[in-house]
Amino acid sequence: MGISKFLYHFGRYVLMMRTAFSRPEKLSMYYRETLRQMNDIGIGSLIIVGLIAVFIGAVTAVQFAYQLEGSFVPRYYIGYIVRDSTIIELAPTISCLVLAGKVGSNIAAEIGGMRQKEHIDAMEIMGVNTAAYLVMPKVIAALFVIPMLVALAAFISIIGGYLASVPTGLMSDAEYVLGVRSFFEQRNITMMFVKSLVFAFILTTVSCYQGYYVKGGSIELGKASTNAVVFSDILILLADYLIAIILT
C-alpha cells in the first residue's frame, strides 16, 4: 500500500513538473512574478539566514576550541574547521532546512489557498497554464536567490566564528585568519553551490506540489503546509548524503 501511494504521488509530481516547465504564454507576466518571488524568498529570508549563520559559526568555533583543550593540535585549526564545515555542510544544509520551513510552508499555503478559493480553476478556464504560472517563477527565483543566501550564510558563519573566538581570548586575530586561509580547496565552494541548487529545487517543487493538489478545508491546508516542510527536509537530508558520496 505504501509503495503504490509513493508511486502515485511521484508520478503526479513528475507530470506536474513536466507541465510546469512548458513554454510560457506571456513572458512579461512570468518575469514580473519571478521578480516578486525573488524578493519574497531572498530579501524576506535575509535576517533569519544571517542570524542562524552567525550562531552556526560561533558555536562551531567554541565547540572545536573545547575539543582542542589539552591537545597538540595548533589553535589556528579552529579557523580552518569553521571555514570548511560551514562551506561544505552547515551553510547549505542548515540554511535550506530553515528555508524549507519558512519559504516552503508559505508557498504551500499560498497555492493551497488559491486552490481552495477556486482561483486556480478560474485561471484554467481563462486558458492559463496554472502549473507553469504558479510553479516555474518560484523555482527559477529560488535557483537564483538561494545559492546567494547560502554563500552569504557561509561568509557570515566565518565572521561568527571570529567574533566567538578572537574577542573572547580563545585565540589571536592572526591565528584565526591563518586558519581561515589554510588548506583551502576550491572544490568545496563548488560542492556548496551544487547542494544549494539541488536543495532550492527540492524545497520549492515539493512545496508547490503539496499546495497545488490540496483538497478540503483549512485542516487539509494546514496538513499540506506541514507535509511540505517535512518532506522537503527529509529529501534535502537524503540529497545531502547522496551529493556528499558523489562529490567526495
Whether the Cβ atoms of residue 135 and residue 85 lie closer than 8 Å to each other: no
Number of domains making up the chain? 1
Question: Domain for residue 33, yes or no?
Answer: yes
Question: Domain for residue 196, yes or no?
Answer: yes
Question: Domain for residue 164, yes or no?
Answer: yes
Q: What are the tens digits of pLDDT across the range 68-90?
A: 777 787 888 888 888 989 999 88
Question: Domain for residue 234, yes or no?
Answer: yes
C-alpha 56: how far from chain center: 16
Residue 158 has pLDDT above 60, yes or no: yes
When pLDDT is cut at 50, 70 and 90, the band that residue 9 belongs to is: confident
What pLDDT was estimated at residue 120?
A: 84
Q: How many CB atoms sit inside 10 A of residue 64's CB?
A: 21
Question: Domain for residue 225, yes or no?
Answer: yes
What pLDDT was estimated at residue 210?
A: 92
Q: How many CB atoms sit inside 10 A of residue 8's CB?
A: 10
Whether the Cβ atoms of residue 225 and residue 203 lie closer than 8 Å to each other: no
Q: What is the greatest pairwise CA distance in the chain?
A: 72
Residue burial 135-171, b: 16+ Cβ < 10 Å; e: rest:
bbbbbbbbebbbbebbbbbbbbbbebbbebbbeeebb
Residue 206 has pLDDT above 70, yes or no: yes
End-to-end CA distance of the chain: 36
Question: Residue written as cell 484554467?
Answer: 124
Q: What are the tens digits of pLDDT across the range 89-133?
A: 889 999 999 999 999 999 999 889 888 888 888 888 887 888 888
Query: Which of the 8 DSSP states describes residue 248?
Result: -
When pLDDT is cut at 50, 70 and 90, the band that residue 193 belongs to is: very high
What pLDDT was estimated at residue 203?
A: 92
Q: Which of 19-23, 30-34, 234-238 has the lowest mean pLDDT?
A: 19-23
Question: Domain for residue 4, yes or no?
Answer: no
Separation of alpha carbons 218 and 224, rounded Å: 10
What pLDDT was estimated at residue 92?
A: 92
Question: Which grid cell sits at 36?
Answer: 516578486
When pLDDT is cut at 50, 70 and 90, the band that residue 145 belongs to is: very high
Q: What are the tens digits of pLDDT across the range 32-52?
A: 989 999 998 888 889 999 999
C-alpha 18: how far from chain center: 22
At 197, phi and psi to the nearest 5?
A: -65, -45
Question: Domain for residue 83, yes or no?
Answer: yes
Give the rounded percent of residues in the chain with a pLDDT score beyond 90. 39
Question: Domain for residue 19, yes or no?
Answer: no
The residue range of the domain holding 196 is 29-247
Question: Which grid cell sits at 201?
Answer: 529545487
What pLDDT was estimated at residue 127?
A: 78
